[in-house]
Chain A
Amino acid sequence: DAGVTQSPTHLIKTRGQQVTLRCSPKSGHDTVSWYQQALGQGPQFIFQYYEEEERQRGNFPDRFSGHQFPNYSSELNVNALLLGDSALYLCASGGFRGYNSPLHFGNGTRLTVT
């Protein structure tokens, strides 16, 4: 049973560029959340997708956007990259029907902005 998979594992971009990160949820899960973890910090909630709609959003600017596909996979897009966007981006999935079930995390995508 495959867990949460994320791609790519590492990415280097230049300021002002755009980036797309991808996530496939754990089998049986239909909800995907994205988190940003800056170096030395705890993960910060970006947004959550369910039924192809953004359901909740954290305190992140509109430069951060996402999408969920019919197969429940998801993308995180960041436009106009800033140096401060350098972080580990974590995707997590959790089943809607087991709403009190814990989230399962992927290993993340390490984004470096130069």
Chain B
Amino acid sequence: AQSVTQLGSHVSVSEGALVLLRCNYSSSVPPYLFWYVQYPNQGLQLLLKYTTGATLVKGINGFEAEFKKSETSFHLTKPSAHMSDAAEYFCAVNHLLSAGGTSYGKLTFGQGTILTVHP
């Protein structure tokens, strides 16, 4: 079974400051990892994903995340916060299952981290 833990349900930063949102995962197989952002009353928008290859992944809006297998972590960072970054962020792991050669997937999400950006 997989699980995702997001450390800190609320993170507050000043505009222009570094954003660091923490995510640790548990998976018995190589994981595919994702960060999604959710604005109020909206669905989830993909920020970035890690599947295979380079462990430093760049996403949209200046966000990036680094996959560290030894630490089972996939922390999300942004060098300089902007007011428009205020939202809730979710880390998720995708576990692929195989049945008769066909693959399906489902996402296991963390509890979310609400990011507040102060002027």
Contacts and interface: CB of A to CB of B under 8 A. Distances in A.
A103 B96 CA distance: 13
Contacts of A50: 102, 104
A106 B44 CA distance: 7
A104 B36 CA distance: 10
Contacts, number: 68
A90 B44 contact: yes
Interface residues of B, number: 29
A46 to B, nearest CB: 9
Interface residues of A, number: 29
Nearest to A33: B106
Given A4-B43, A44-B109, A107-B43, 9 more contacts: A42-B4, A43-B109, A45-B108, A92-B107, A94-B105, A99-B103, A103-B107, A105-B44, A108-B42
Interface of B: 4, 32, 34, 36, 41-46, 49, 51, 90, 92, 94, 96-97, 99, 102-112
